[in-house]
């Protein structure tokens, strides 16, 4: 007996719901297996699924229900309109981080002439989503990106190659390389680990058991990396500069205070995301 696309989606939706998982996963998996975009999927709802696709579909949905992130199972996630390869060595790019990229692009436009060449460093690159998106969206930027994990850099390099982005990769810790080389930059961007250790213990198993701890947890209170940044930034930033951080919910003002103490004369703002959560902190100097 054949199964139609709409029947497969209906089955997945109720099965996922029953197990407390996101019911959109069925659509993600089918688009992947059939190599369809959303429109094509909707137009072909009454078509029969090949037996092989139906078997694979059920297998992937079952694996996800058992706790495996669907992005690791299919091997990619979309970010800023582009397809990024991901595996368990990197965080899965999130939609709210697209807002950080958007905010950086907007502030570059506002604070610099579009003829100026700018040096930007993305710290803790993971899949390379932030660095690669910025490099492709704005040709003024010379983009450097740092990660402490060689495994993450390999993933980011693969993405840069696939997407033909010109990004320089540095295997190091935070801003150490720039301090040692006495190299100054215009812009520092980071989505650092910011989850307090206690909170990590209570995370959903899909995240806790699969996404890298080093990319999630920022010490006991989640603010460890922002303090280290505040310490290092004065040695790395040019006089006219921009800093952009993603932060955890309810960390906005705390991170803003850390930056204000390091740079009393700067303009620091906390920006809320599309869901009304304090998600980004920007600091502009000069």
234 is in an annotated binding site: no
What six digits make up the tokens of 98? 């697209």
128 is in an annotated binding site: yes
- Contact between 222 and 199 (Cβ < 8 Å): yes
How do beta strands 278-285 and 237-246 pair?
Answer: antiparallel
Given a cut of 60, is residue 215 above it in pLDDT? no
The pLDDT assigned to 249 comes to: 84
For residue range 135-163, what is the model confidence (pLDDT) as tens digits? 999 999 999 999 988 999 999 999 999 99
Given a cut of 80, is residue 195 above it in pLDDT? no
Given a cut of 70, is residue 209 above it in pLDDT? no
User: Binning pLDDT at 50, 70 and 90, where does residue 42 land?
Assistant: very high
With pLDDT > 90 as the criterion, what percentage of the chain qualifies? 76
Q: Could you please report the per-residue DSSP string of 105-147?
A: HHHHHHHS-TT--EEEEEES-TTSHHHHHHHHH-TTEEEEEEE
222 is in an annotated binding site: no
35 is in an annotated binding site: no
126 is in an annotated binding site: yes
127 is in an annotated binding site: yes
**Which architecture does CATH list for 90-285?**
3-Layer(aba) Sandwich (3.40)
The model scores a pTM over 0.85: yes
Euclidean distance between CA atoms 186 and 6, whole angstroms: 51
93 is in an annotated binding site: no
- Contact between 193 and 167 (Cβ < 8 Å): no
Domain boundaries, the chain: 3-66, 90-285
- Residue 158, CB-side half-sphere exposure with 13 Å CA sphere: 16
The pLDDT assigned to 88 comes to: 86
């Amino acid at each position: 007996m054949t199964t139609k696309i709409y029947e497969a989606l209906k089955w997945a939706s109720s099965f996922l719901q029953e197990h407390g998982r996101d019911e959109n996963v069925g659509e993600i998996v089918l688009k992947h297996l059939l190599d369809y975009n959303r429109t094509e999927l909707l137009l072909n709802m009454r078509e029969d699924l090949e037996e092989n696709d139906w078997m694979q579909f059920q297998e992937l949905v079952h694996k996800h229900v058992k706790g495996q992130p669907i992005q690791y199972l299919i091997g990619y996630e979309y970010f800023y309109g582009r397809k990024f390869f991901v595996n368990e060595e990197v965080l899965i790019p999130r939609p709210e981080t697209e807002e950080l990229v958007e905010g950086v692009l907007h502030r570059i436009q506002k604070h610099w002439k579009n003829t100026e060449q700018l040096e930007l460093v993305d710290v803790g690159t993971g899949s390379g989503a932030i660095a690669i998106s910025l490099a492709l969206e704005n040709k003024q930027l010379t983009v450097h990106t740092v990660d402490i994990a060689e495994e993450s850099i390999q993933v980011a390099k693969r993405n840069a190659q696939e997407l033909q982005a010109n990004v320089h990769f540095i295997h190091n810790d935070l801003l150490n390389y720039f301090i040692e080389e006495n190299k100054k930059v215009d812009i520092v961007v980071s989505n650092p680990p910011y989850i307090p250790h206690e909170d990590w213990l209570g995370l959903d198993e899909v995240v806790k058991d699969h996404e890298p701890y080093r990319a999630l947890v920022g010490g006991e209170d989640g603010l460890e990396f922002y303090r280290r940044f505040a310490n290092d930034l004065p040695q790395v930033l040019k006089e006219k500069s921009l800093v952009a951080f993603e932060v955890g919910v309810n960390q906005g003002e705390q991170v803003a205070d850390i930056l204000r103490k390091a740079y009393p004369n700067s303009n620091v703002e906390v920006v809320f995301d599309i869901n009304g959560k304090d998600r980004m902190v920007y600091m502009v100097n000069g």
